[in-house]
A and B are shown apart, each in its own frame.
Chain A
């Protein structure tokens, strides 16, 4: 799983390993005793740097929980999560917030943007919060990549759903995070707008060397990824490299069938 790191990294300090994030024996359980529900059951995973990883699985498989834990949005019951060399499960809220701000980018399914800020302000928001000046050249490049140069002064309500998600992608990219997490970023879009957004994500991996982890249940979306992880009952049950939509779909059907017979 250790792919050679040939793509130059943007931002941050040098001397990186090939693994952007990893989880070791991560358990996430809700409740206790009889009512204990295990969402993640001793998960080990490595997220390769400069790759586009998709996490798939049926509802309740723990795929969103895994992403939230990796992103420092949720706490784990046991186990360790590393972002690069930083062990994040021990961090307090303040450090965790800084980590999300400076090293992680987010794209949510919906409601990604602050309605009071225009597109550009939304894009630079994480850097504004951190009190950092955005790199003008990089910003221009990101904005051009996602094709929003004409709409920077628009408020979110004046943008289409696809445009809004592209702004969200631009925001995630603009701060040059080590890793971007997407929580069904195309879940609310029609197939054309969804394809647009996914193309940009793909492009940012290929051209900008970005690391992306995306949760999805859409085989077409997953087919844009370099690698697909399959979760079921809180465990990683399978993975696939350079998949096509059909392959993903077939594999899903497999799981479904197995799920029904078991």
Chain B
């Protein structure tokens, strides 16, 4: 009981010193709980959405590749209107409604500005049906009544300031609808960010599907008392042709929708939990340091306790109980803060156009339990080493002056273990760079990363001595004696400096590693583009996947100053290799100029010949798999077309990132077998300008596409920039998440300094007495902080660059051929960490400066 009492008193006596550790626990727990609450809420939201949007039974046409896939030609697969009537006659059916939905659309306003989401959510166009009333309500105006009217969802209307009477243009492959807004409909459930427009049924059929009297699916509602499963059975019987239709009950439809959404949410959840884990790892250092310092400061007190009869176990336990208090307080606050984090994330999503309602906030009972358990277990675990050290304090410590000399033997053991781990890790990283198979290489890489990290943490205190000295000669010496004292202070307790720096090291190592991999990705892709791409311009759909309509292709081809245009079509086909194996690969039908637009290495044969009469090329992997040589013939059964026997004229190398494994044939060859109306439209187009006319041609191409906002033209530079931006964006998100770990590490630096200042109260008093000014004192503490931060940064960046380089060498097998170390980023992080050090020292330096000289000298 007394143990309990002393622990409690100690905890509250040092609540200031405990506060930062508590914040570290709080942050980590909050991030875990926030992630869980957020993903659970997303799940609830989507459950509601999917339940609200699907009818009791939905009938859709069964296609070769699955119902939800977008067809290559941009025309949704449809079912005849007659099927709706048929379905309506089934037993137990209350209503059967034909519905039209297409995601192959682009919606723009009168200024050709895209109304679609910028976050990747789809743009959907369809007809307005009774089924839609379950998830939406018309809040102003009325549903579209003719080809000149359109209804838009309220979120899109709000975002783009649309009002009734404004013109919207809905562009589909099969039609182009200019209509005025007749109504605005609001979502009753969460809108995941999609832009939705409704047309009247006839217009939707003709313009979105290309012909009248067809639908994309049927929404069937049951009479009261009829189960969805029964209804599904009845409708299936009524429709007869089971091969042509796919039927799903509401539950099945929701499940199918959730599968794709759920796996995305899972990836997000585990990624975020991973970052929370890193924050926890960093938090461990902070807690170990805090308790080590508290134990060191209380050495005499603990010695006294031992002298008057406390057992080792009791001392040990009293420290652990303090940690338990810390864990409980930090975790409890963390769970609360976690809910705040979740709400914050929802607000963030809202600002990106996804309307999540806090009414759906879902807190599973497991969330607080997990948060509390994790927080408490980690805290007590981290305090275990200092607690054991406290237990080892001898009663004699009560009589001696504070401060025990460092244990030399432990240092040597530590050095040996750390060195072995680091060397083993280094060897594993080296093995990873030399691996032939990526599977085995990644195993080596993983082992190398973990071993070097642990190794660095273990030898951190020894490295601290060396690195701090080097840093001081470079940085601190210019600050004279104040710098020298800062150096000495940082070196005074290498274990503490090591642990504080290590906390920062972890986050920065990950930043460095990812930035090396990221910029290597950009450099490799750029290098490959430079090497292989001969085209000056590339035309692609801007948002929704939408093939290039012939009118747009024609408009582009009218542009002057172009040497050639290349059509590129993906044609579905079944391929039968000479060995009899059938594969559903499809072929690329392109103009012969394509081989200049995208230069490909060949393993054998000549790529130019593949564009000859009844010829084609295959990829290396396919050729090896089926033992195909140049000159062999492959049977190509075109979908919606005839069957050809094409001669293999070239085998292309698979050592590429673009068009890997693609099989090429000439468009004229494909046209011989596929009827003109079944021929897919261009997926993509390439163009090369005449020499010296690149600039004019680019402008002209952009002008030509002004009327077709659904497509974008890019030159090589813009294309590369796009690629860079995409990778940069991804990296920024990751850096953002790593910021959590870095914040915890900074708290660690603050804590170490604050406790050091307390520990050195007398010293500070002495220095002030003999003439150290407040400014000099503050500077001394700031410099110590900076040198600790730079130590962590140096280790972290070095380690991270090592990891990144090893990862790149390994990924070279996957086409990441160029290593690029982003020196500006690395340097920025290094310099930034000096500022982090300055920032961390703000409060401790201020408090040290305010100390009363006489009181400071008089403290025990």
Q: Which A residues fall within an 8 A CB radius of B?
A: 68, 73-74, 93-94, 97-98, 100-102, 104-106, 108, 111-112, 114-117, 121, 125-126, 128-131, 157, 171
Contacts and interface: CB of A to CB of B under 8 A. Distances in A.
10 contacts: A93-B774, A105-B770, A106-B770, A114-B763, A114-B766, A114-B767, A115-B403, A117-B488, A129-B482, A171-B770
Interface in B470-510: 480-482, 484-485, 488-489, 491-492
B854 A74 contact: yes
Given A68-B854, A73-B854, A128-B480, A114 B772 contact: no
Nearest to B769: A106
Nearest to B762: A111
Given A73-B853, A117-B488, A131 B766 contact: no
Nearest to A105: B770
5 closest cross-chain pairs (CB), A and B: A101-B771, A116-B488, A128-B481, A97-B773, A100-B771
B485 A97 contact: no
B857 A108 contact: yes
Contact of A94 (B484, B488, B773): B773
Contacts of A74: 854
B770 A98 contact: no
B797 to A, nearest CB: 28
A126 B770 CA distance: 6
B669 interface: no
Contact of B485 (A101, A108, A112, A116): A116
Given A68-B854, A73-B854, A128-B480, A115 B763 contact: yes
B768 interface: yes
B714 interface: no
A169 to B, nearest CB: 13
Nearest to B768: A97
B137 to A, nearest CB: 71
B776 interface: yes
Nearest to A93: B774
A104 B482 CA distance: 20
A231 B762 CA distance: 27
* Max chain B Cβ within 10 angstroms of own Cβ: one of A93, A116, A128, A130: A116
Contacts of A97: 768, 771-774
A114 B485 contact: yes
Contact of B769 (A73, A116, A128, A131): A73
A117 B769 contact: no
Contacts of B763: 111, 114-115
Nearest to A101: B771
B540 to A, nearest CB: 64
A105 B770 CA distance: 7
Contacts of B480: 128, 131
Contacts of B482: 129
Contacts of B857: 108, 111
Given A68-B854, A108-B857, A131-B480, A116 B771 contact: no
A74 B769 CA distance: 10
B775 to A, nearest CB: 8
Report the interface size class on chain B: 20 to 34
A108 B774 CA distance: 21
Contacts of B762: 111
Interface string B388-408: 000000000000000101000
A62 to B, nearest CB: 14
Nearest to B765: A111
A97 B776 CA distance: 11
Nearest to B487: A116
Contact of B770 (A93, A111, A115, A125): A125
Question: Which of B481, B768, B854 has the largest count of A CB atoms less than 10 A from its CB?
Answer: B481
Dominant SS among interface residues on chain A: helix
Contacts of B772: 97, 101, 129
Which of A97, A98, A128, A157 is the most central at the interface, judged by chain B CB atoms within 10 Å of its CB?
A97
A126 B771 contact: yes
Given A73-B769, A128-B480, 5 more contacts: A68-B854, A112-B766, A125-B481, A125-B770, A129-B767
Given A93-B774, A129-B481, A129-B776, A108 B768 contact: no
A171 B770 CA distance: 10
A106 B853 CA distance: 13
Contacts of A102: 771
A212 B489 CA distance: 32
Interface string B734-770: 0000000000000000000000000000110011111
Nearest to A94: B773
Contacts of A126: 770-771
A130 B771 contact: yes
A100 B769 CA distance: 7
A205 B480 CA distance: 32
A111 B488 contact: no
Interface in B299-335: none
Nearest to A114: B763
A186 to B, nearest CB: 17
A102 to B, nearest CB: 7
Most A-side CB within 10 Å, residue of B481, B762, B769, B770: B770
A102 B766 CA distance: 15
- Interface centre among B403, B769, B774, by most chain A C-beta atoms within 10 angstroms, is B769
Contacts of A125: 481, 767, 770
A111 B764 CA distance: 11
A43 B771 CA distance: 26
Contacts of B485: 114, 116-117
B770 A101 contact: yes
A95 to B, nearest CB: 10
A102 B772 CA distance: 11
Contacts of B854: 68, 73-74
A126 B766 CA distance: 11
Contact of B771 (A114, A121, A129): A129
A98 B766 contact: no
A139 B767 CA distance: 20
A101 B481 CA distance: 14
A102 B771 CA distance: 7
B484 to A, nearest CB: 8
A116 B489 contact: yes
Interface in B844-860: 853-854, 857
Contacts of B766: 108, 111-112, 114
Contacts of A112: 766
A103 to B, nearest CB: 9
Nearest to B481: A128
A94 B768 CA distance: 11
A192 B442 CA distance: 71
A256 B857 CA distance: 29
Contacts of B770: 100-101, 105-106, 125-126, 129, 171
A125 B481 CA distance: 8
Contacts of A105: 770
A211 B65 CA distance: 101
A204 to B, nearest CB: 17
A4 B768 CA distance: 34
Contacts of B489: 116
Among B482, B491, B857, the most chain A Cβ lie within 10 Å of the Cβ of: B857
B401 to A, nearest CB: 9
Contacts of A104: 771
Interface in B762-814: 762-763, 766-774, 776
The listed residue with most A CB atoms (<10 A of its CB), out of B481, B482, B771, is B771
A68 B853 CA distance: 10
B496 to A, nearest CB: 14
A195 to B, nearest CB: 24
A111 B492 CA distance: 17
Nearest to B859: A111
Contacts of B488: 114, 116-117
A116 B492 contact: yes
B757 to A, nearest CB: 15
A202 to B, nearest CB: 22
Given A68-B854, A115-B763, A131-B480, A98 B774 contact: no
